[in-house]
Structure 1
Amino acid sequence: MPDSLLNWFEEGADRLGTLLRDSAPDEPVWTWSEEQTVGFWVRMQIIEAAIHRWDAENTIGTPAPIPGEVAADAVTQTFQVMAPARRAWKQAPAGAGERYRFRRTDGPGLWTVHFEGEQVRLMDGGFDVELAGTASDLMLYLWQRIPAGDLDVQGDKDLIDRYFVLVPPI
């Protein structure tokens, strides 16, 4: 890899870091999401850096888990931001009432996601299938880095493959 490419990347990362540090989280900016703030980009960059750090470590050996609070926020962000966006971008099929529960085993965190028609809603209540694991493992599953078999699965296991039909990869 040419040094000039590495230097260009490092300069861009430094500029982005400075911009994010020097801006108020609620400052309006363009995003591809409904949330149009600097805070959106700060959150996205933290999540992206965590997942790609894991990817890099995974290519050369055993990756360290993603820190619990970052991973838990990434799980929440998946259902608040990414799942609705991916469904719209990929014209995913309508939900038929499927309820997926994701339960964190290494700290607080419980997310029940309901797919009804075009809607993706976080809710309380029952589930059709539950996937349980550390916050890191839940994030890695939702980002398609590990299989469902690495999690504790309860309920209708036939719905596991349907999740990525309802929330298509990008």
Structure 2
Amino acid sequence: MVAAWVLCLCALKWGGGPERWVAIVWLSVFEIVHRGYHLLWEPVFRVDQFDTFHAAMDLAAGLGFLVIALQANRLFTLWIASFQLISFSAHLARGMVDEITPIAYAFLVIAPSYFQLAILGGGLIAHVRRKKEFGEYRDWRGSDYGAASPFAQRTR
């Protein structure tokens, strides 16, 4: 999806640490790994059965978003992690219940990504406005202003 690439590249250019890390997780999991998988192996997303690859991919993205959300000095990252939990939960439901309809499975796996992109866009706009109005502010909880990573050494 071109819009996802454009938004993530904008986040990498103008975003703070959390915006950049969300974009990195998004691009690496959903654009590079996901598209590579479909080019090399399975050409379509199978909604008629449990999809192990997509479940693992959604779990990996969810863990990445969760780590970012717990460390970021931003509220929108919690929303992105929450929508990823919905997507992963759909895989669990499909694995446990055979009666789930393919359209419900597809909707619950795919639809959250559109909300995640919209939320990332809103978070990026809010960051740019806040930075323009108030100047530099910290990206991560418990870090100095402008720390580059949630794993940066904390100072007192």
TM over 0.5: no
Between the two structures, name the one with larger relative contact order (CA 8 Å, sep ≥ 6): 2
Q: Report which of the two has the higher share of strand.
A: 1
Report the TM-score, using the length of structure 1 for normalisation: 0.28
Higher helix share: 2
